[in-house]
Amino acid sequence: MALDVLIVDDSAAIRKILQRVLRQADIQLGQVHEAADGVEALEKLKTVRVGLMLVDINMPNMDGLQLLTQLKASPELKDVPVVMVTTEGSHSKVMEAVQLGAAGYVRKPFTADQIHETIVRLVV
> How many angstroms from the chain centroid is the CA of residue 17?
13
Closer residue to another protein in complex, CB, 28/111 = 111
The residues that bridge with 54 in the sheet, in sequence order, are 7, 83
The correct pick among 57, 83, 84, 102 for binding another protein (CB under 8 A) is 57
Sketch the per residue contact string, 73 through 92, with another protein: x for CB under 8 A, - otherwise: --------------xxxx-x
**49 DSSP 8-state letter:** -
Q: Does 34 bind another protein (CB under 8 A)?
A: no
Q: CA dist 42 to 6, 23, 80, 93, 98, Å?
A: 11, 24, 13, 22, 20
Residues of this chain that bind another protein (CB under 8 A): 10-14, 16-17, 20, 57-63, 65-66, 87-90, 92, 108-111
